[in-house]
Amino acid sequence: MGFSVAGLLVGLAILLPSLLLLPFPARGTPQLPAESLRLTLLERGGQVGCLVLATITSDAPGSWWWGAAVVVCVLVYYGLWIRFFSTGRPFLALYAPVGPIPVPMAIFPVLAFLCCAAWLGNWWLAAAAVVLAVGHVTTSLRIAHSLRDSDND
């Protein structure tokens, strides 16, 4: 273990847009279903694991195509944040599908961390990203389904 500038940059690139919700919260937040404690713990554990493990990886980045995949995932994620802000920050935009991807704002950060794990050769980071996926994507899917069900009422 050591320190990875590349891992730190990936972690910050994923974390920073979410911090914008503090001064600029989503508008029209509806009543949401109760979150599962188990999923919340998995989500938070996966988030901490991804941020910490990406940063303490000392291995030099490997194959450039994995690095390129990280950049593509982050750019798509930023595009989704631009969509959120350019449409007036509606809560629904956080969970809106894009084509066949049901919750892209939950999926692309996970994909970025998985690609980062392959790029840095850190399988512990990959495991943390899988834990994050189980908690974050599942919770986001539950919220998205709840929102769609409430629109159909």
Residue 26 lies in a domain: no
Q: Structure pTM?
A: 0.93
- Nearest Cα to Cα of residue 115 among 45, 53, 65, 57: 65
- Phi-psi group of 99: left, alpha or beta (phi > 0 → left; psi -120 to 50 → alpha; rest → beta): left
Amino acid at 125: L
Residue 70 lies in a domain: yes
Residue 30 lies in a domain: no
Domain, as residue range, for 101: 5-19+37-152
pLDDT in tens, 111-141: 999 999 999 999 999 999 999 999 999 999 9
Residue 80 lies in a domain: yes
Please count the structural domains in the chain.
Answer: 1
So what's the pLDDT on residue 61?
79
Residue 63 lies in a domain: yes
Six-digit token string for 134: 């189980």
Find residue 62's DSSP bridge partners. none
Q: Where are the alpha helices (DSSP H) in 1-137?
A: 5-19, 37-55, 64-86, 104-120, 123-132
Q: Is 80 exposed, middle or buried (0-12, 13-18, 19+ CB in 10 A)?
A: buried
